[in-house]
């Protein structure tokens, strides 16, 4: 059978969260075929099918804006909670 998954990750190293990066991977059979990286600001395809879909998704401004907004909505919100939890316990 085939295996499809989506892996989202937020990466940061400073307490002020100014360097936070959002990465959204689309994985097919354990290989990333499309990735959105907030530093790049668009989708990048790594396979023939991934390149084709990345071009379509990059031309969809609503989808691209939604993905770019995840840094604020998803990453910074949850990172702030994580930071407070860590500092409260130390």
Q: Of 21, 29, 23, 30, whose CA–CA distance to 8 is shortest? A: 23
Q: What CA–CA distance (Å, rounded) separates 17 from 38?
A: 14
Q: What is the mean pLDDT of the chain?
A: 91
Average pLDDT over residues 43-56: 96
pLDDT of residue 17: 82
pLDDT of residue 90: 59
Beta partners for residue 26, in sequence order:
6, 34
């Amino acid at each position: 059978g085939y295996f499809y998954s989506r892996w989202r990750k937020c990466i940061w190293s400073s307490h002020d969260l100014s360097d936070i990066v959002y990465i959204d991977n689309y994985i097919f059979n354990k290989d990333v075929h499309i990735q959105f990286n907030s530093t790049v600001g668009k989708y990048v395809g790594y396979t023939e099918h991934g390149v084709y879909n990345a071009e379509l998704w990059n031309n969809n401004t609503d989808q691209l804006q939604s993905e770019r907004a995840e840094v604020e909505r998803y990453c910074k919100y949850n990172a702030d909670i994580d930071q407070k939890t860590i500092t409260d316990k130390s």
